[in-house]
Amino acid sequence: MKVSARNTFSGTVSNITKGAVNSEVVLELKGGVSIVATVTNGAVTNLGLKNGDAAFAIVKASSVIIGTDLHDAKVSARNMFCGTIATIIEGPVSTEVDIEIGGGNLVSAVITHGSSMKLGLKVGGHACAMFKASSVILGVA
């Protein structure tokens, strides 16, 4: 599967909580990191998802928010991962930031150059990446 999104995570479905319209799907990645996705019940049915299945979580880099000093922050985003900044590619308008979150997993974000400067991001430094469960697209092979 080839997609244009920078973040494609391979994992195993560890939990599905079905609601009236949407389901919350938890995908466990290598290293014990979990991603939470909110998708329609129809999508769960169409994909044939059940606990133990292999699946992919896909998140556009533009949907990822970067922050620092967030360990005690209370936010509504279901997915927040803190780790070490592995790569920074600065541009005059946008900056790409890759954060190693454990288990060999990287979260890539594209943020404004101004935000990167304001946060004082440096390779090897600590940062957190977050995105909403509704920003996650699920797929199966």
Rounded to whole angstroms, the Cα distance separating 128 from 85 reads 9
Rounded to whole angstroms, the Cα distance separating 130 from 133 reads 10
Rounded to whole angstroms, the Cα distance separating 124 from 48 reads 40
pLDDT on residue 39: 98
Q: Do 7-59+134-139 and 62-130 fold alike per CATH?
A: yes
State the greatest distance between any 2 C-alpha atoms of the chain, in Å, as a whole number: 45
Q: Could you state, in order of their start, the residue ranges of all structural domains in the chain?
A: 7-59+134-139, 62-130
Q: What is the CATH number that goes with domain 62-130?
A: 2.40.50.100
Q: What's the rounded mean pLDDT across residues 107-127?
A: 97
Rounded to whole angstroms, the Cα distance separating 119 from 40 reads 35
Whether pLDDT at 1 is above 80: no
Residue 45 confidence class, pLDDT cut points 50, 70, 90: very high
What is the sign of the dihedral through the CA atoms of 112, 34, 70 and 84?
negative
pLDDT on residue 72: 87
Domain 7-59+134-139 of CATH type 3.40.50.300: no
75-116 pLDDT, tens per residue? 999 999 999 999 999 999 999 999 999 999 999 999 999 999
Whether pLDDT at 69 is above 80: yes
Residue 56 confidence class, pLDDT cut points 50, 70, 90: very high
pLDDT on residue 120: 97
The per-residue pLDDT of the chain, averaged, comes to: 96
pTM score > 0.85 for this model? yes
Which residues are bridge partners to 127 per DSSP?
Answer: 83
Q: What's the rounded mean pLDDT across residues 117-136?
A: 97
Residue 17 confidence class, pLDDT cut points 50, 70, 90: very high
- Alpha-carbon distances, residue 128 vs 37, 71, 79, 89 (angstroms): 18, 8, 10, 17
pLDDT on residue 46: 97
- Alpha-carbon distances, residue 11 vs 48, 59, 62 (angstroms): 15, 14, 22
